[in-house]
Amino acid sequence: MNDLIDNYLSYYEELKENPDLGLVLYKSPPKYIDEVSWFSNLYSEVLKKDAIAVVAEENGKVVGMCDIHRLRPNSELSHIGNLGIAIRKEYRGKGIGKKLILKALEEGKNLFEIIQLEVFSNNKIAISLYEKVGFITYGIFPNRIKRKDKYYDVILMYYKYTENSNFNK
């Protein structure tokens, strides 16, 4: 679990270099115990089949994670999952994100009918990747993210499972 937490906390360091980083983060890094609690909750959701999580490792070190959480369990929205993904800076552009997304979609096929996500509108590389694996844009949420004094629009996208869904792209 330490490796997963270290991976997540690395994004706060990257944010110092790149204030336009396309990840939604807390205003300050969470405490270690809060991260342990978050991952424990994720594990519990996975066991209840309300979430899936896949990680990418290199040399035994976590370099990325993709998770899908049920939007609202036990409700009329429980057929929808919400996708999140993050790859360590030095491992981006190597196809890891695509592999993680496709694996997560494959594992989610029997748990969800629709997967939704939000992506910073300035994150053209991520938007292109999502489109390549089958996500469709359905809207823009203006000023969705406020980071210090700057606002970011968010692109809203979804993926609908079909009988022909192909995860070997």
In the predicted model, what is the mean pLDDT of residues 66-73? Answer: 96
Cα separation of 14 and 87, whole Å? 11
Cα separation of 4 and 35, whole Å? 9
Of the ranges 1-5, 44-48, 160-164, which one carries the lowest mean pLDDT score? 1-5
In SS3 terms, 71-96 reads as CCCCCCCCCEEEEEEEECHHHCCCCH
What average pLDDT is seen over the chain?
94
Alpha carbon 84 to its chain centroid, in Å, reads 1
Please give the radius of gyration of the chain, using alpha carbons only, rounded to the nearest integer: 16
Coil vs helix vs strand at 132: helix
In the predicted model, what is the mean pLDDT of residues 134-157? Answer: 97
pLDDT tens digit sequence for 94-126: 999 999 999 999 999 999 999 999 999 999 999
Report residue 127: phi and psi, to 5°. -60, -45
CB atoms near residue 83 (< 10 Å): 25
Cα separation of 103 and 168, whole Å? 9
DSSP state of 66: E
pLDDT band at residue 159 under the 50/70/90 scheme: very high
168/154: higher pLDDT: 154
Name the strand (E) or helix (H) holding 137: strand 136-147
pLDDT band at residue 6 under the 50/70/90 scheme: confident
pTM for the predicted model, two decimal places: 0.92
Q: Is the pLDDT of residue 169 over 80?
A: no
Q: Is the pLDDT of residue 166 over 90?
A: no
pLDDT band at residue 37 under the 50/70/90 scheme: very high
Q: Is 165 in contact with 120 (CB distance < 8 Å)?
A: no
* CATH superfamily, with its number, for domain 2-115: Gcn5-related N-acetyltransferase (GNAT) (3.40.630.30)
Cα separation of 102 and 161, whole Å? 12
pLDDT tens digit sequence for 124-140: 999 999 999 999 999 99
Cα separation of 47 and 70, whole Å? 13
For residue 67, what pLDDT is reported?
97
Domain ranges for the chain, please list them: 2-115
Q: Is the pLDDT of residue 1 over 80?
A: no
- The first and second tokens of residue 89, run together, are 């800076």
pLDDT band at residue 85 under the 50/70/90 scheme: very high
